Every structure is written in C-alpha cells, then in structure tokens.
Structure 1
Amino acid sequence: MLKDIPPAALSAGVKYCINHCNFLPTIAEIRKASEKVTTLAMGTKPIDSATAWGKVQKAIAAVGYTGVPDFDDPVTQRVVDRFGWKEICQTPTDDTSILRAQFRKAYESEVAHVEEVKEFSASGIPVHQKYLADAGLAGVKELTSEVAARLKMPE
C-alpha cells in the first residue's frame, strides 16, 4: 500500500510518524505524513481559493473579455471553465463579491474532489484519468490496471 511513495519521502514520513503518533501509525497516517514531507520539500503546497481568485482577477485585467486565459493550476482552470470566462468578465462590479463567494465554494469543492481521487487511486481503485494527471499521479494507471482487469465482468 506504500509502494507508490518515493523511498526518501516514505522514510521521512515514517520518521515524522514516529515522532508525532502516540500509537503505531496506520497506512493512512504514513501516507499523509509522506505527502506532507514531499509538499514541504518541493514547495508545492496547493493554492487556496483566495489565491486562485487573485489569479482570475489578474487574468481579467491582462487577458480581457475576448482572450482565453491559461491558468497553471488545473483546479482554477476547471472552475473558470465551469463558470465561463466571458460570464466572469461580464459580471457587474456590484456582483463581484457574489461571484467571488461562488468561485470560492466551487474551488473548494473541486479541490476536495481532487483529494478524493488521490485517495481512491492510491488505494488501487480506478478513477477518471483526467483527474489523476491533476493530482500528480501519472504512474497510477500502472498501479490500477491490474485491479481494473480483476474488476471486469466476464463476457
């Protein structure tokens, strides 16, 4: 259950659990600690909804109504696509706070979904490949192909 975690991150995660857990750590605790170590080491902490909204505001000013923005965060891109770029740009100034609140809720929902996909894929359960790439789990297809083959119904 831990073979997909790089050895250095796994070792650091286990050391973290040894220092912070009162009882023997579960696989889930080791996974979470290893992910935390990796995130801190690589500086890849996911952005929050406020930062994402700031990027959207900058894109409105830079790209404008007629352009097509390209966000480096796939979650931000999906939320903007869901709302519609032109609709975001055409929102009246008085309604910006409403749009921001709706964006925050949609963003947090999408982040939660990506986290669920990560958890299920780490467990070997096949999930939609589009979300695996966003979750940084490019090698999961290899890990899940065997499980997917076993789950297929005989013809």
Structure 2
Amino acid sequence: MQTQAIDDKELNERVAILHRLRELLLQQRRKFQEYLTVLEKQETTIDGEDMDKLLAHTELEQKIIGNISELQKVIKPMEDLYKAAYPDNQTEIPVLQADLSQLQTRILLQNEKNRSALRLHINSVRSKINALKNPYAKTRSVYAHSAQTAAAINIQV
C-alpha cells in the first residue's frame, strides 16, 4: 500500500476542518442536552398543570430548536469536508456523532412522553368542561317575550 505525502498546507486545512467540526458537534451536543433538560422540566410542569410555566417552556423549546436547526445547516457542509479530508474516519468525530444520535433518541422519547401527557391533560379538561352543566340552560331569559303576554289591550273609557 502506497502512502501519499501531505504538504503542510493540506495538513493544516485538514486539522482546521477537524477542529471546527468537532467544535460544532460539541456545541450541538450542548444544545441537545439543554433541549432535553427543558423537555424534562416541561414534563413536571405538565403534571403540575402550571400553564404559565408550560408556555415559557414551549417558547424556550422553540428557540432551542431554531438554534439546533441553524447549527445543523453549518454542520452538514463541514461533515462533507471532513469526509473528503478523512476518508478513513479514524478520529473522534464518529464517537461524537454516535453520542448525538443517542441524545436525539432520548429527546424524541421525552418529546413523545410530553405529548402524551398533554393529550391526556387536554382530554381531561375537555371532559370536565363537558361535565359542567349550565344552570340557566332550561330557564327563560328575563328579556324574552312571554307567550302569556297579551297582543292587544282593550281600553274602555
């Protein structure tokens, strides 16, 4: 097997690509961990039925998802550069990618768990609302005309 000599410029480019991709993947891992933490806190908020906190968690969740999406747009081209520079994949990047994959699986499971809890809570609230009876449903309005009121008045002088 013949090995090709790499000049310093190409070596520096490869190292820069590797460092940048590693940095981006670590940043993505921190964002995934932050997202998982928010989802776990959101679960306790759902159980506690605190709607203000739930709204705050949902807004924070949307921001984190936006950050992850923007980060993913940068990571994908860097991964392509990495694969071109390191076709044998003998560095720590595959380990980071596997860790990210595990975190993503945990996030999806937690997200589904929260969705199920929210569905149950919403169904419970709906059934409570449907169970409420309107005490005025079968009474006549004070402002409605009564059928017992005369249509004409007979006045004799």
TM-score, normalised relative to structure 1: 0.29
TM-score, normalised relative to structure 2: 0.28
Which protein, 1 or 2, shows the higher relative CO under an 8 Å CA cutoff with sep ≥ 6? 2
Q: Which structure is larger by alpha-carbon Rg, 1 or 2? A: 2
